[in-house]
Amino acid sequence: MAHPALTGVGMIERETLQLLVGMHRIVRHLGRAGASSTLHPTQFIALLLIGDDQPIRIGEIATRVPCSQPTATTTVAALEAAGLARRQADVLDGRATSVVLTPDGDEMVKAVGRHAVDDLAKLLDRLSSDDREVVLAAGAILSRMADDL
């Protein structure tokens, strides 16, 4: 019989915490090597967002990281100084600016993606095929949750 503290709400809280800690540990493991370790985490997230949705306005970066507008501005300035991103006139509103990747930024995003896929594949290979299928299916759900943040 299950312990009373591990039923109902207690069990949901325990499983939620276990999911949170597990995701955090995996993300930290994947982020230890490669380009992600040379950038501040906010810069790294912003770089990937720019790569996914360029051109993108700084306000949108702030919303999606999430961080404040001044932090997003500082982050983009650091990416510009590193030669990974550049600002350009917004195509819809010439008074505004958008951010795009430079060729070096594009290459970094691709390299980090390849590296992360390889590292995650090694972790997934440790799982049974049934567990691997569940984890991969959860990826789409987690992505939708992140899009709603």
Secondary structure of 65-107 in HEC code, one letter for each residue: CCCCHHHHHHHHHHHHHCCCEEEEECCCCCCCEEEEECHHHHH
Residue 148's pLDDT band (cuts 50, 70, 90): confident
Q: What is the pLDDT of residues 127-138, one digit of tens each?
A: 999 999 999 999
Residue 18 region by backbone torsions, left for phi larger than 0, else alpha for psi between -120 and 50, else beta: alpha
Residue 60: count other Cβ atoms within 10 Å of its Cβ: 16
* Neighbouring residues of 93: CB distance < 8 A, sequence distance ≥ 6: none
Does residue 34 surpass a pLDDT of 80? Answer: no
Q: Using CA atoms, how far apart are residues 46 and 76, in angstroms rounded to an integer? A: 8
Residue 33's pLDDT band (cuts 50, 70, 90): low
CATH of domain 10-147: 1.10.10.10
CB 50 within 8 A of CB 87: no
What are the extents of the domains in the chain?
A: 10-147
Residue 149: count other Cβ atoms within 10 Å of its Cβ: 8
